[in-house]
Amino acid sequence: MKLHVIDTGFFKLDGGAMFGVVPKTLWQRTNPADENNLCNWAMRCLLIEDGNRLILIDNGIGDKQDAKFMSHYYLNGDASLHGSLKKAGFTAADITDVFLTHLHFDHCGGGVKYKNGDGALELVFPNATYWSNADHWKWATEPNAREKASFLKENILPMQESGHLQFINPNQPSPFSQFDIFYADGHTDKMMVPIIPYKGKKIAFMADLLPSVGHLPLPYVMGYDTRPLITLEEKSQFLNKAAAEDYILFFEHDAVNECCTVQQTEKGVRLAQTFSLSEV
């Protein structure tokens, strides 16, 4: 099995929203903000190459939203979904599976595009099965007012309408032998965190359970999380296990750090080392 980092670019979000109740004087030490209080965030995906399967975990924001929408997020950087796939030696048509940790626009927007000319929507990965779970799908397609702006029907519904959508059932054998799944309900309902055995280690694709190294302390919880107290419990459970079993944490959103390990300290679980996936 091989792992390929698929960078899809950067975007900006308000630092206060990303760190919730934590004061700026603390979070800006790890995530400095610009003059508009915006911090830069990666949209870093992961491709698993295993035999005849090519499994893409998340796919970034995409490019089909209008200029007004995109202007709110200050997209930047040279990397792109298709450019990164090409760099790894693949095209969108090669992907067999698109595993979506959750359906917020910055995680699944790259999976659907407009057809040339007629304005109809089609899948970016025409030969792939798109994977979610039934609970999260219901949550996303019948959204609460708090999350409605993050669940865009043009990102989501074409997966089902095309016949390419399948659901993972937590109570049945997984369709993926390549990784286990940790289900988290603090950020959104039934977000899926893949934990991938790789070269004798376990690599956890952190999605929005832990956006960056700066979010390691337990109270550093995003203002976007729908159930922040649940996030606290999930982070504590996950990070204690990660420290005990020497997990490698792979960050989807950390603009600087691709991976890290963690360790127990007198202050709780804290950073041990940062490095790139290629160093594993």
Q: How far apart are CA 231 and CA 217, in angstroms?
A: 12
- pTM equals 0.97
Q: How far apart are CA 240 and CA 30, in angstroms?
A: 22
Q: How far apart are CA 172 and CA 191, in angstroms?
A: 17
For residue 35, the SS3 value is coil
Give the pLDDT score at 116.
80
Give the pLDDT score at 17.
98
* Interval 6-20: pLDDT, tens: 999 999 999 999 999
Instruction: Give bridge partners of residue 213 from the DSSP assignment.
Output: none
Task: Map out the domains of the chain with their CATH numbers.
Answer: 2-279 (3.60.15.10)
59 alpha carbon, distance to own chain's centre: 8
Q: How far apart are CA 131 and CA 59, in angstroms?
A: 12
* Interval 163-207: pLDDT, tens: 999 999 999 999 999 999 999 999 999 999 999 999 999 999 999
Residue type, 78: D
Give the pLDDT score at 164.
99
Provide mean pLDDT across the span 250-257.
99
Write out the DSSP string of 87-116: HHT--GGG--EEE-S--SHHHHGGGEEEPT
* Interval 24-77: pLDDT, tens: 999 999 999 999 999 999 999 999 999 999 999 999 999 999 999 999 999 999
Q: Is the model's pLDDT at 117 over the cut of 80?
A: no
In whole numbers, what is the pLDDT of the chain averaged over residues? 98
Kindly give the residue spans of alpha helices, DSSP state H, lying in 44-190.
67-71, 81-88, 105-108, 134-141, 153-161
